[in-house]
Amino acid sequence: MPATQGIAAGHQPPVISCRQLSKRYGSVEALRSVSFDVERGEIFGCIGPDGAGKSTLFRILATLLRADSGRATVEGLDVQKDFRAIRRRLGYMPGRFSLYQDLSVEENLSFFAAIFGVTVRESYPLIRDIYGQLEPFKARRACKLSGGMKQKLALCCALIHKPSVLLLDEPTTGVDPISRREFWEMLARLRQQSITIIVSTPYMDEAMRCDRIALVKDGAFLQIEAPQSIISRFPQALWSVQGDPMYGLLKDLRRHEDIMAAYAFGDAHHATVRSERITPRQLGENLKALGYLNVEVKEIQPTIEDCYMHLTADS
């Protein structure tokens, strides 16, 4: 399915614009002719598993890596020709924690402020909500912080020079669920200040917090739309199927002539079904006849992860 751009006529020029970006590492095609725009004040998500090409894209936009072909601009500036000007306007959090482990929270923040020629005091209003949670630990070395606190410190350092654009590469990977939720609440508040945010994540549930998302696989954008729009376009009936034993159940679901695809999904299997030919009750009876116990079949609403599985099966 082709990716849609989603930028309506009459809007301001996009804050970020990419056209036919490609990047190869030897025989590996990390990005394949990626094109998209991001509007001012938007939270734009790149959703896909590790190795999909998200980090390569972010490094190109952050002016740390050159694309092999194509063009990208940030605030109208070319990422290759105008990299110095872009870095003044951009805040970047790489996937791996990259602050100084032996410096304290306060020292890290002061160091990054000095690099950009600003002070913590003048930037404090922008980071107040986030830094307020770190301030009781401002003398603690970064290596002694929890995963969630490290990410909050990294976000503060990325914001210290008041950027108009934030690139956040998998900012919640390895972070506990409560810290993940708090982090996204912070992003929502930053969005209200007209900061444009591009965030990558392997967590499909985080997609619903974005204004628009790109579903990414093997360096290509499969679809770009609002999360709910992607869900509403899911083309088949989707059923949740449970039964004992679950492993054998998955294999038999994939053999069934009325099931188009089946995959494990938490404590159940999800199956896309030709519903005009079979009902949940009939499928349940079929499975019981095969010897499965505790069978439960019910129709469910798809999630972004279901949509991703559908698109990747077709791509």
**pLDDT 10s digit of each residue in the chain, 315 long?**
444 444 444 558 899 999 999 999 999 999 999 999 999 999 999 999 888 999 999 999 999 999 999 999 999 999 999 999 999 999 999 988 888 999 999 999 999 999 999 988 888 888 888 888 888 999 999 999 988 889 889 999 999 999 999 999 999 888 888 888 888 998 998 998 889 999 998 888 899 999 999 999 999 999 999 999 999 999 999 999 999 999 999 999 999 999 999 999 989 999 999 988 899 999 999 999 999 999 999 999 999 999 999 988 765
Distances (CA, A) of 304 to 53, 179, 207, 232: 19, 22, 7, 10
Q: Which two tokens stand for residue 67?
A: 């694309």
Neighbours of 264 (CB within 10 A): 12
C-alpha span between 315 and 313 (Å, rounded) = 6
Q: In sequence order, what DSSP letters do the residues of 243-306 get, joined into one string? A: EESHHHHHHHHHH-TTEEEEEEETTEEEEEE-TTT--HHHHHHHHHHTT-EEEEEEE----HHH
Distance of CA 27 to the CA centre of its chain: 25
Please name the residue ranges forming H helices in the chain: 54-61, 83-89, 105-115, 120-134, 147-159, 177-191, 227-232, 246-255, 280-289, 304-314
Q: What is the pLDDT of residue 5?
A: 46
Q: What is the pLDDT of residue 131?
A: 87
Q: What is the pLDDT of residue 282?
A: 96
Under CATH, domain 16-229 is a member of which superfamily? P-loop containing nucleotide triphosphate hydrolases (3.40.50.300)
Count of helices and strands (H, E) across the chain: 10, 14
C-alpha span between 200 and 61 (Å, rounded) = 13
Domain residue extents for the chain: 16-229, 234-314
Burial of residue 237 (number of CB atoms within 10 Å: 0-12, 13-18, 19+)? middle
**Cα angle 93, 97, 100; round to 5:** 105
How many residues can be counted in the chain?
315
C-alpha span between 297 and 49 (Å, rounded) = 28
User: Domain 234-314, CATH 3.30.70.100 — does that match?
Assistant: yes
